Structure 1
Amino acid sequence: MKFSESWLRSHVPTNVSRDELSAVLTAIGLEVEEVTALGVGLDHVVVARIVQAERHPEADRLQVCKVDAGQGELLQIVCGAPNARVGLIAPLAMVGAQIGELKIKPAKLRGVESNGMLCSAKELGLDSDASGLLELPDDAAVGMSLVEYLGLPDASIEIKLTPNRADCFSVRGIAFDVAAATHSAVLPFAAEAVTAQGSRELSIQLDAGAEAPRYLGRVIEGVNTSARTPLWMAERLRRSGVRPVSLLVDITQYVMLELGQPMHAYDLDTLKGSVAVRRSRAGETLKLLDGRDAALDDSFLVVTDADRPVGLAGLMGGFDTRVTDATKNVFLEAAHFAPAAIMGRGRKLGLHTDAGHRFERGVDPQLPRTAIEYATRLVLDLAGGTPAPVTEAVREADLPVAAAITLRRARILRVLGIQIEDAEVERILRALGMKVEAVADGWTVTGPSSRFDIAIEEDLIEELARIHGYDKIPTTLPGGAARIAMPSETRLDDLSVRRQLVARDMLETINFAFVDAQLLAQWSQDEGLVPLANPLSAELAVMRPLLLPGLVATLGRNVARQAGRVRLFEVGRVFAQTAGEGKPAPQETVRIAAAVCGDAAALQWGDKARKVDFHDLKGDLESLAAASGAALEFRASQRPYAHPARSADIWRDGQCIGWIGQVHPRVGKAMEIDVDVLGFELDLEPLATRELPRSAELSRFPAVRRDLAVAVAESVSWADLAATIRQAAGELLREVVLFDRYVGQGVEPGFKSLAMGLILQDKSRTLTDRDIEAVVTEVVAAIDRGHGAKIRG
């Protein structure tokens, strides 16, 4: 099965990277055989139109083209593609582009100058077609970047499927597995019924018993078969290994790849009567779409009209009833055929088709209705026409029905050797599209109609194992000795975190995990909440998504009772609703938060009293971070409950883990708190993670300090400037410290002056003036290049 990455992500939004997605697919049993990146290195390839085309004076197979690339003047391109012609829109690699191993330069071909290269799909790495230039739609914007126009970059992913996973022969089928493995959710897919406008119908008769229990058909009259397949559909097909042919054929292919239901379109005017599905008769022949004559025996299923075979059911349509450019009226079919009725039939004829490959393994018997409505909508939107009602023939008793299976907790433990949490079991099974009902000792599970491989309890346990992760099933040996678990040195334990904040003169609080929805609305946190089914009261009806609202409310109650200086913190869980089918368990995250107000220090005589500010609280947080060795970065924040000029998001290792700053006065006023409140809240796990301590040799040689004062734009943060300095200075830099910030006379408006000290030291020798000047020169040049910072005179 081959598909495009972007197509899959349109069904299951997930933040995992391409490499992570490939790893996830392989880990859950959908082995990735190849990932082909598309659109890489096409920076200087644009959409262009051929305005003139004349034969090359010295070569019969070359043409001298004048090409409009949106630059105002025509470019002369020598091209040997057979489909190069006036009016054609195709990709143009401009001078300077790198196409594979070829660097595009101005050149002379047989004495004629050429300033670029018109490209085929193969030359661009987008397809294997090298028969001519890649033809783009007539409405393509000339001069537009090809990458932007084609929705690149993308990737074509090919997976190797085992025969039991017929449900994954579609993009949507794969999406359910990816959603389960990445804790995501498959987006809903609704193919709304198309309102019938015509009345022409063909009657359908099923004469093959259980081998063909369902067949649907619909007449669409007045179809414009000359309409071109839209670019978005053609690209998805091409990236899935299917070459676009014509609109109606492409629509049936598209529906099959997206939903997994094979379909076929007949030219209605070539059909002679009612449609039926029956066993073929020995001696019958049928000319197939590919032009070959198939000699049939009594083991095949055929679609007939007036008892004349017009298609090999589940394999390929007939030649005489195919749609062509002259087709005006179409008969669409979607059916369910039993796998046993299709198995081996294609091999008898030396025939292998995508439809047969799917029907042999099992296609969802409930899917034909959805597929035919979806295909109808695509036909109407892209080619027009008048649809008639859907005609259906069905043998309900012969349709496969998914049986309810009992899944026991004890059996999971017995087979896998691990205990999977009930919530995780239900999440996995529901994410895979199964119906789950809890019972006393486990669950009653009904698989989706698309899963022919779910029949017994062990099948469900296999699903749990592959989605939960084979790597999470430990390899254990029997033993009688007890093991004492030692605390990990790579994590700061919760008690140490609490002690650190208590040492900073804070008091720990414990608040309810459920709060008032109106309080959260004051904080603009009223989306994605987890409601309680049976709350204690209306004021405690939802689980908290943040610690700060409850913590600040506690601070407000203390202020209202004449507590002038309040310093509180809390370690607890927050809850967020996760998307998915059914009722998935909410996501829990352990966080730490603090809220302070009043004076910076307790009443004392050694210094003047002042109010606590952002930098005081930042110092508290950095002291906590220092306990685990976490290097925090602070960036401007735009959160709705944050003061716009006195708050920042907290980052560690490229990940936003929380927030610090002053609570917006609007929030304080809504909570009837008449003092400035500052706080922070962040995920505890990233903060508590630390590296193992390692000893390092101390240098015996003296350190050298060089001070610099630079003028830089106000928009440039010290964090960005310091990062550039560290990178430029290299291994000799031991520390960079900011010791002054100045704005005013002598500094240009919109700029600030920052004074910093560079502390340099080597472990093996004393630094010379030349060494020091080289570092300083490189630092000055780097901050000038990166941030426009200039040394002050």
Structure 2
Amino acid sequence: MKFSENWLRQHVRTDASRDELVATLTAIGLEVEDMVSLGDALEGVVVARIVSAERHPEADRLQVCLVDAGLDAPLQIVCGAPNARPGLVAPLARIGTRIGELTIKAAKLRGVESNGMLCSARELGIDADASGLLELPADAPVGAPLAAYLGLPDASIEIKLTPNRADCFSVHGIAFDVAAACGSRVVPIEAEPVPAASEAALSVVLGAGADAPRYLGRVIEGVDATRPTPVWMAERLRRSGIRPVRFLVDVTQYVMLELGQPMHAFDRDRLTGPVGVRRAHAGETLTLLDGRDVSLDAEFLAITDGAPGADRVVALAGVMGGFDTRVTESTRNVFLEAAHFAPDAIIGRSRRLGLHTDAAHRFERGVDPALPPLAIERATRLILDVAGGTPGPLTDVALDAHRAQPKTIGLRRARLQRVLGLSIDDADVERILHALGLDVSAAADGWRVVAPTRRFDLAIEEDLIEEVIRIHGYDRVPTTLPGGATRIAVPSEARVAEAELRRQMVARDCLETINFAFVDAALLAAWNAGAGSVPLANPLSGELGVMRPALLPGLVAAVGRNLARQQSRVRLFELGKVFRASAEASTAPVETLRVAAAVAGAARAEQWSEVARPTDYFDLKGDLEALARIAGTRLTFARSTAPHGHPGRSADILHDGVHVGWIGELHPRLLRALDIDAPVLAFELDAATLQGRSLPRVAPLSRFPSVRRDLAVVAPEAVSWSALESAVRAAAGPLLADIRLFDRYAGQGVETGSRSLAIGLILQENSRTLTDRDVDGVVAEVVAALQREHGAALRS
């Protein structure tokens, strides 16, 4: 929310300096993100009119202007601005005026005297526009100080609001907090009802129930739409971040900023009536004010024109008006609208259309349902004062059954003191609550408080306690050391901490990333990973519309961004949660903690002692097995058919026969879709697999020697080593201390489709020395099991 400091001071009287005001806003929870001072040093700058402008005899881009500055005679000014022309009213810095670091002096420019400087908005420090002279209205008083005419000095203040403080999306709403913090009172809004001077009116039909419980409208005939927006109004809009367009549009924006009630102005002559509010029908279309054609459905709330059943959509309720019924300079009769729409009926609708409007921003968070009458009277008075016209009667249609009723909240004195840890005088508590606009009455144990309809965030006792302390001052809460003994929680040795997994991945030369938990549905479609994903009802943007069902899509996208920025070797990992839709639609999504890594480029950083080679599957498998060793977890691997994996270069990760993840090289087709032109290897698995470990147990080392027997086994290529290893371990039994694969050969002497694997069996017994008979028996069992289960045989 951005606003003018001077505008705020008109709503709340305070002697606080600008710096004190900014500090106070931040201290009470309205964090000031930016503050720009405007026109702090404009002494000597006056309003002037260019009487004549002739080309400079020695410079094509300069003009010699005679300027009326309210003095006895015109001043001669040499000016290079492209918009300098006779009749233009612009600021003039007279001789002796200091503009920034420059002091204006009489000078000769290319031989022609110049007695001052005509200024742009940027040179004066009141705007960023430096394209030409600041053009003032033609009726601006020549010779008057510019600061007084523009209401300067001033400051543009921008505050960061939390979603629960929708009441502060207006200058008047902010004034209540400032009044409470500064010990002042809010100046009431002057909006006396405007008496009707004609019979002109449009009837209103409400057909959306609780989504639109109130709608007000008024016809004003005979307005002069060509009248310019008054300078004071235009400047307040600019300093609030809104560019003035034309008066009939600007007045609705002005009232929205002042009171917080979005409004819209229709061209009455383009409406037939009655005006209605209903859910849109599937297939209905509307051309918005920005010229875009949008298709609607029953999720949208529509403003219609015409009798029910034969009506047409003329505006998107709470979002934007329609192009066909907009006000223009030829408009003579206006229909003003001010309505209350429920947040649930508006939230997310503008983002579905790729829009972000001030009206939707406010309605999504909640607008005071009592504001429409005040806003429409305020706007009516402004229009009559500036553009004239004849007002008709106010049409106010409401569904009383859906009106919000004020809620009484009890605030106990003892509870207040216990939660805050300090005692606040009753008089201070009552002063704070009254200044915030709350209705307070005394009770035996404290107070009974009725929150105004603009404060949606006040519902329970703790909300009132928060209001009291944020205005009283968090810095006034005493610092007290905790008493009693501190209970230290000892982490379980049977669980591997997340920090330990992170440290291991960092030790393996990977960098940790933190990606959004929301991803683009199109990205999941490229991965063929959209099944079971959870779409968001109200996404922040179209690119963040689905809760991630896996870590790899976001992680690999980060790898791609790094590769595109000249990072030839990228090694990233992430430890985070993924989300899957629950089997029952009514329950929350299932959250699973997962760990993933994605690498591309060389296996080792560039160095002189080792020949560079690209990272391969076994490098990454080594990283994964290093993680598994922390928990003593034994992982097995099986050939994978995952669509995102490269055929023959990827595997499913198994733990005790259960699928827990995937590892391998990404499919070239997927990499092309992701616009990545280098091979990428990755793994992802459930972190729980790596976090549970059995406690170490003391066992004596065997005093007896081990025996090693090496076997050369010819096995089909289709049989994985993990399958062979499992068969060996099962057949060898308890005598097998270790198994090592130390060679692989395929070629001459081995039939096509097979390969020779050299296996070392380490056998040992704790209670005796093994005999040749023991060893031969184990080897025979192993060879028989390999032949029986996988068709493998000893190499001849």
Alignment TM-score > 0.5, same fold: yes
Q: 1:432 pairs with 433, 436, 440, which one?
A: 436
Letter of the 2:390 partner, please give it.
T
**Alpha-carbon distance, 1:112 to partner:** 4.6
Mark the runs of 5 or more structure 2 residues left unpaired by the alignment: 485-796
Once structures 1 and 2 are overlaid, which stretch shifts more, 60-69 or 381-390? 60-69
Is residue 413 of structure 1 aligned with residue 396 of structure 2? no
Q: 2:328 pairs with 324, 328, 331, which one?
A: 324
Q: 1:359 pairs with 350, 358, 363, which one?
A: 363
**Alpha-carbon distance, 1:364 to partner:** 0.4
Letter of the 1:142 partner, please give it.
V
Question: Aligned partners of 1:80 and 1:212: how far apart in 2?
Answer: 55
1:16-95 → structure 2 map (5 Å cutoff):
16-57=16-57, 62-95=62-95
Letter of the 1:330 partner, please give it.
V
**Is the Cα–Cα contact under 8 Å of residues 126 and 239 in structure 1 kept in the other structure?**
no
Question: Aligned partners of 1:294 and 1:396: how far apart in 2?
Answer: 33
Q: What CA RMSD, in Å, does the superposition of the two structures yield over aligned residues?
A: 1.8
Question: 2:124 is paired with a residue of what secondary structure?
Answer: coil
Q: 2:404 pairs with 372, 393, 400, which one?
A: 400
Letter of the 2:92 partner, please give it.
L
Question: Aligned partners of 2:362 and 2:59: how far apart in 1?
Answer: 49
Letter of the 1:188 partner, please give it.
P
**Alpha-carbon distance, 1:176 to partner:** 0.4
Letter of the 1:442 partner, please give it.
G
Question: Aligned partners of 1:263 and 1:93: how far apart in 2?
Answer: 40
CA 1:322–1:81: 2 relative to 1, 3 Å? farther
Question: 2:122 is paired with a residue of what secondary structure?
Answer: coil
Question: 2:36 is paired with a residue of what secondary structure?
Answer: strand
Question: Aligned partners of 1:347 and 1:62: how far apart in 2?
Answer: 48
- The equivalent residue for 1:128 is 128
Letter of the 1:471 partner, please give it.
D
Question: Aligned partners of 2:105 and 2:285: how far apart in 1?
Answer: 58
Question: Aligned partners of 1:138 and 1:286: how far apart in 2?
Answer: 39
Question: Aligned partners of 1:285 and 1:59: how far apart in 2?
Answer: 56
**Alpha-carbon distance, 1:343 to partner:** 0.9
Letter of the 2:427 partner, please give it.
A
Question: Aligned partners of 2:172 and 2:264: how far apart in 1?
Answer: 20
Once structures 1 and 2 are overlaid, which stretch shifts more, 117-126 or 436-445? 117-126
- The equivalent residue for 2:629 is none
**Alpha-carbon distance, 1:297 to partner:** 2.5
- The equivalent residue for 1:441 is 445
Letter of the 1:13 partner, please give it.
R
**Alpha-carbon distance, 1:108 to partner:** 5.0
Question: Aligned partners of 1:309 and 1:119: how far apart in 2?
Answer: 47
1:713-753: CA deviations, max 9, x gaps? Answer: xxxxxxxxxxxxxxxxxxxxxxxxxxxxxxxxxxxxxxxxx
Question: Aligned partners of 1:270 and 1:83: how far apart in 2?
Answer: 37
Question: Aligned partners of 2:87 and 2:303: how far apart in 1?
Answer: 43
1:298-317 → structure 2 map (5 Å cutoff):
298-306=298-306, 307-317=311-321
**Alpha-carbon distance, 1:104 to partner:** 3.3
**Is the Cα–Cα contact under 8 Å of residues 4 and 155 in structure 1 kept in the other structure?**
yes
1:326-355: CA deviations, max 9, x gaps? Answer: 010000000111111111111111111111
TM-score, normalised via structure 1 length? 0.59
Question: 2:465 is paired with a residue of what secondary structure?
Answer: helix
Letter of the 1:397 partner, please give it.
A
**Alpha-carbon distance, 1:28 to partner:** 0.3
Is residue 231 of structure 1 aligned with residue 224 of structure 2? no
**Is the Cα–Cα contact under 8 Å of residues 185 and 431 in structure 1 kept in the other structure?**
yes
1:248-267 → structure 2 map (5 Å cutoff):
248-267=248-267
1:545-565: CA deviations, max 9, x gaps? Answer: xxxxxxxxxxxxxxxxxxxxx
**Alpha-carbon distance, 1:103 to partner:** 4.0
Question: Aligned partners of 2:86 and 2:342: how far apart in 1?
Answer: 51
Question: 1:122 is paired with a residue of what secondary structure?
Answer: helix
Question: Aligned partners of 1:272 and 1:446: how far apart in 2?
Answer: 42
Question: 2:123 is paired with a residue of what secondary structure?
Answer: coil
- The equivalent residue for 1:150 is 150
1:206-225 → structure 2 map (5 Å cutoff):
206-225=206-225
Question: Aligned partners of 2:441 and 2:470: how far apart in 1?
Answer: 21
Question: 1:370 is paired with a residue of what secondary structure?
Answer: helix
CA 1:44–1:362: 2 relative to 1, 3 Å? same
Question: 1:144 is paired with a residue of what secondary structure?
Answer: coil
Question: Aligned partners of 1:110 and 1:164: how far apart in 2?
Answer: 61
**Alpha-carbon distance, 1:233 to partner:** 1.5
Question: Aligned partners of 1:110 and 1:272: how far apart in 2?
Answer: 64
Question: Aligned partners of 2:41 and 2:47: how far apart in 1?
Answer: 15
CA 1:327–1:63: 2 relative to 1, 3 Å? farther
Question: Aligned partners of 1:73 and 1:392: how far apart in 2?
Answer: 58
Question: Aligned partners of 1:118 and 1:289: how far apart in 2?
Answer: 37
- The equivalent residue for 1:178 is 178
Question: 1:123 is paired with a residue of what secondary structure?
Answer: helix
CA 1:106–1:190: 2 relative to 1, 3 Å? closer
Letter of the 1:363 partner, please give it.
V
Number of residue pairs matched by the alignment: 480
1:175-233: CA deviations, max 9, x gaps? Answer: 10011111111122231110101111111111111111111000000001111222221
Letter of the 1:247 partner, please give it.
F
Question: Aligned partners of 1:393 and 1:243: how far apart in 2?
Answer: 33
**Is the Cα–Cα contact under 8 Å of residues 122 and 129 in structure 1 kept in the other structure?**
yes
Once structures 1 and 2 are overlaid, which stretch shifts more, 114-123 or 430-439? 114-123
Question: 2:364 is paired with a residue of what secondary structure?
Answer: helix
Question: Aligned partners of 1:296 and 1:63: how far apart in 2?
Answer: 55
**Alpha-carbon distance, 1:440 to partner:** 1.3
1:192-203 → structure 2 map (5 Å cutoff):
192-203=192-203
Is residue 472 of structure 1 aligned with residue 476 of structure 2? yes
Question: 2:367 is paired with a residue of what secondary structure?
Answer: coil
CA 1:110–1:288: 2 relative to 1, 3 Å? farther
CA 1:337–1:58: 2 relative to 1, 3 Å? farther
**Alpha-carbon distance, 1:63 to partner:** 3.5
**Alpha-carbon distance, 1:130 to partner:** 3.3
- The equivalent residue for 2:540 is none
Question: 2:339 is paired with a residue of what secondary structure?
Answer: strand
CA 1:272–1:344: 2 relative to 1, 3 Å? same
Letter of the 1:341 partner, please give it.
A
Mark the runs of 5 or more structure 1 residues left unpaired by the alignment: 481-793
1:110-149: CA deviations, max 9, x gaps? Answer: 6654333222222211123334322223332222221222
**Is the Cα–Cα contact under 8 Å of residues 99 and 124 in structure 1 kept in the other structure?**
yes
**Alpha-carbon distance, 1:169 to partner:** 0.7
- The equivalent residue for 1:345 is 349
Question: Aligned partners of 2:103 and 2:316: how far apart in 1?
Answer: 50
Question: Aligned partners of 1:107 and 1:310: how far apart in 2?
Answer: 59
- The equivalent residue for 2:7 is 7
Question: Aligned partners of 2:79 and 2:271: how far apart in 1?
Answer: 46
Which has more radius of gyration? 2
Question: Aligned partners of 2:175 and 2:47: how far apart in 1?
Answer: 33
Letter of the 2:178 partner, please give it.
V
Question: 1:86 is paired with a residue of what secondary structure?
Answer: coil
Question: Aligned partners of 2:298 and 2:104: how far apart in 1?
Answer: 61
CA 1:407–1:331: 2 relative to 1, 3 Å? same
**Is the Cα–Cα contact under 8 Å of residues 6 and 154 in structure 1 kept in the other structure?**
yes
1:52-105: CA deviations, max 9, x gaps? Answer: 123445665543321111222222223344433322211012233333344434
Question: Aligned partners of 2:389 and 2:293: how far apart in 1?
Answer: 33
- The equivalent residue for 2:139 is 139
CA 1:230–1:78: 2 relative to 1, 3 Å? same
- The equivalent residue for 1:457 is 461
